[in-house]
Amino acid sequence: MPLPEQLRVSVIIPVHNGGDSFRRCLSSLAKTTPPPSEIIVVADGDTDGSWLLAKEFNAKVLRINARGGPAQARNLGAKAAQGDILFFVDADVVVYPDTISQVASTFSREPDLAALIGSYDDAPGATNFLSQYRNLLHHYVHQTGCEEASTFWGACGAIRRQVFLSLGGFDESYRQPSIEDIELGYRLKQAGYRIRLCKDLQVKHLKRWEMGSLLKADFFYRALPWTELILRDRQLINDLNLQVSSRVSVMLVFGLLSALVAAWWWSGFLIVAAALSLSLLVINAPVYRFFMRQRGLVFAFQVIPWHWLYYFYSGLAFAIGTARYQFRRLRSSKTSVSAPL
């Protein structure tokens, strides 16, 4: 079965010590119908022989001796690609047999489309609570987002090769898995390009989240740099993780914490705390109903404190990120004023 209008899809996978998840990723791509025109694996300073595994699956392998991050790896793969469409997939993601066909047919039907993104499915690979919670929350956010997307996503995102190259690809200053895909999405929109969120294009995420890895990734690699990106581009769009309901929830969580602290001095603040808690439950009721449908009532109750913690550290990161951004601007302005003519 040929790809629609003979569009060639190049799959690009950055990998650093991918392990068994990487094998499952490659195995799933081998079962796609039709297959991609090529699979390019960029081994980003791996030490576990991931590049050898890629060779077993007949992928084209590029190697980076010292780890430079997924942005650099994806850019390297994009430059070597021959396809019309660049389809970026993470090494811990499993695709479905019709994934390549979906990507190709969408671009074929919509010639004005520059890029598209999918979402995680509702059956995460890791079974522990935090992995189920984190990946299901991501699924919910994407499934309830606007189809005319405001950003890009590197775990399951495709873009026309010429558009990608014309914008210079991912920003390689992001040395860790961070918001390099979001930043690219912002530049796509600023350049007038169209991005579509295809809610039926779903992949399975295999990553196992633990408390430390989740908090580190969310706070240092996403929330802090995303704050500075928002301030740099002055874009606070009512979509995905930046919906108005999420911003209101952040304020309610900080109000709740303030009321609980104040209750040490006057117990009347406990009433305020109860009212704020009820408000948080009401405004996030659709999210908790989703978790209840997916995993039951007990699981949904377990989600609530983690979800509120998410709002807390997101708000904290926004405050710290804003302060850092303003400090850098002030220091930069002082440097430019004091510089000799």
**How many Cα atoms are found within 13 Å in the side-chain-facing hemisphere of 109?**
8
Per the structure block, which two tokens stand in for 32? 């796609």
Q: With contact defined as beta carbons under 8 Å apart, do 170 and 124 qualify?
A: no
Single out the residue in 192, 209, 226 at which a domain terminates. 209
In a domain, 97, yes or no: yes
Q: Are both 201 and 269 inside the same structural domain?
A: no
Q: Are both 203 and 265 inside the same structural domain?
A: no
Check residue 1 and give its pLDDT. Answer: 47
Q: Are both 278 and 189 inside the same structural domain?
A: no
In a domain, 89, yes or no: yes
DSSP string across 41-91: EEEES-SS-HHHHHHHTT-EEEEESS---HHHHHHHHHHH--SSEEEEE-T
In a domain, 263, yes or no: yes
In a domain, 164, yes or no: yes
Per the structure block, which two tokens stand in for 231? 């301030």
In a domain, 53, yes or no: yes
Q: Are both 162 and 68 inside the same structural domain?
A: yes
The pLDDT-based confidence of 44 (bands split at 50, 70, 90) is very high
Question: DSSP 3-state assignment of 1?
Answer: coil
Check residue 336 and give its pLDDT. Answer: 55
Single out the residue in 209, 232, 255 at which a domain terminates. 209
Check residue 334 and give its pLDDT. Answer: 62
Check residue 4 and give its pLDDT. Answer: 47
Work out the average pLDDT over 202-209.
96
In a domain, 285, yes or no: yes
Q: Are strands 38-44 and 60-64 parallel, antiparallel or unpaired?
A: parallel
Check residue 172 and give its pLDDT. Answer: 95
Work out the average pLDDT over 8-19.
96
The continuous run of DSSP H or E covering 267 comes out as none
The CATH number assigned to the domain holding 90 equals 3.90.550.10
**Burial code of 101-118, b = ≥16 C-beta within 10 A, e = fewer?**
bbbbebbbeeeebbbbbb
Q: Of residues 336 and 122, which shows the higher confidence score?
A: 122
- State the DSSP code for 240: G
For residue range 56-114, what is the model confidence (pLDDT) as tens digits? 999 999 999 989 999 999 999 999 999 999 999 999 999 999 999 999 999 999 999 99
Q: What percent of the chain has pLDDT over 90?
A: 78
Single-letter code of the amino acid located at 340: P
Mean of per-residue pLDDT scores for the chain: 91
Check residue 39 and give its pLDDT. Answer: 98
Question: What domain count does the chain have?
Answer: 2
| pLDDT at position 5 over 60 | no
Q: Are both 15 and 126 inside the same structural domain?
A: yes
In a domain, 217, yes or no: no
Check residue 73 and give its pLDDT. Answer: 97
For residue range 214-272, what is the model confidence (pLDDT) as tens digits? 999 998 999 888 888 888 877 666 455 667 888 899 999 999 999 999 999 988 899 99
Q: Are both 245 and 183 inside the same structural domain?
A: no
Single-letter code of the amino acid located at 121: D
Q: Are both 201 and 247 inside the same structural domain?
A: no
134's CB contacts (< 8 A; 6+ apart) are 209, 214
Q: Are both 57 and 173 inside the same structural domain?
A: yes
Single out the residue in 189, 209, 229 at which a domain terminates. 209
Check residue 242 and give its pLDDT. Answer: 66
Q: With contact defined as beta carbons under 8 Å apart, do 290 and 321 qualify?
A: no
Round to the nearest angstrom and report the end-to-end CA distance of the chain.
66
Check residue 328 and give its pLDDT. Answer: 78
| Cα–Cα dist 276/255, whole Å | 7
Check residue 232 and give its pLDDT. Answer: 80
Q: Are both 81 and 182 inside the same structural domain?
A: yes
Q: With contact defined as beta carbons under 8 Å apart, do 283 and 249 qualify?
A: yes
Work out the average pLDDT over 5-25.
93
The lowest-confidence range among 153-167, 277-291, 312-326 is 312-326
The lowest-confidence range among 29-33, 118-122, 135-139, 329-333 is 329-333
Q: Are both 141 and 48 inside the same structural domain?
A: yes
Q: Are both 102 and 196 inside the same structural domain?
A: yes
Work out the average pLDDT over 23-41.
97
Residue numbers of the domain that contains 73: 4-209
| pLDDT at position 327 over 50 | yes
CA 85: distance to chain centroid?
A: 20
Q: Are both 196 and 52 inside the same structural domain?
A: yes
In a domain, 311, yes or no: yes
